[in-house]
């Protein structure tokens, strides 16, 4: 159980920290330029918090724990990237197919971001779990 909690905590800290920086400083201009009319003035924090809680659990269950069982940090990284591409791709491709004003450009960037962020976060969670247990 300590391994799971360590993996979850490490993953959550990195995922939230990097994503917060992206969404509030680094990427906000890009999002405003691409989909500004679709953005709320202030984000709705409850759904965001629920996403983070569930998604980090998914990274732990589908990427980190199997990587720990295999003893492979590379597994954690690649499985995290794959899960990120799948999850963010589902969101982005659905939006691209159903929303007016959603661009291919934002889908590609957002999917790449999801893969990168998920891979780095899973790798961090792997190492935190490995070093604390």
Structurally, the chain folds into a number of domains equal to 1
Q: Is 14 helix (H, G, I), strand (E, B) or coil?
A: helix
> Are the C-beta atoms of residues 23 and 30 closer than 8 Å to each other?
no
Helix axes 73-98, 45-59, angle to 10 degrees: 140
Model confidence, pTM: 0.94
pLDDT of residue 37: 87
pLDDT of residue 43: 87
Residues constituting the chain = 133
Q: Which tokens go with 11?
A: 């993953």
Distance, in Å, from the CA atom of 73 to the CA atom of 65, rounded to the nearest integer, reads 11
Q: What domain range is 88 assigned to?
A: 2-132
pLDDT along the chain (133 residues), means of 10: 97 98 92 89 93 98 98 99 98 97 95 99 98 90
Q: Which tokens go with 94?
A: 């659905």
pLDDT of residue 8: 99
- Please spell the DSSP secondary structure of 88-123, one letter per residue: HHHHHHHHHHH-TT--HHHHHHHHHHHHHHHHHHHH
pLDDT of residue 63: 99
Distance, in Å, from the CA atom of 4 to the CA atom of 10, rounded to the nearest integer, reads 10
- Through-space distance between the first and last CA atoms of the chain, rounded to whole angstroms: 10
């Amino acid at each position: 159980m300590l391994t799971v909690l360590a993996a979850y905590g490490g993953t959550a800290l990195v995922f939230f920290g990097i994503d917060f920086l992206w969404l509030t400083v680094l990427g906000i201009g890009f999002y405003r330029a691409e989909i500004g009319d679709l953005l709320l003035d202030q984000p709705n924090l409850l759904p965001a918090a629920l996403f983070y809680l569930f998604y980090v659990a998914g990274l732990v269950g589908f990427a980190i724990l199997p990587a720990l069982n295999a003893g492979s940090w590379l597994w954690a990284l690649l499985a995290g990237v794959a899960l990120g591409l799948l999850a963010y791709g589902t969101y982005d491709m659905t939006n691209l197919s159903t929303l007016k004003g959603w661009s291919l450009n934002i889908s590609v960037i957002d999917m790449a971001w999801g893969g990168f962020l998920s891979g780095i976060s899973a790798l961090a969670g792997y190492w935190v779990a490995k070093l604390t247990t």
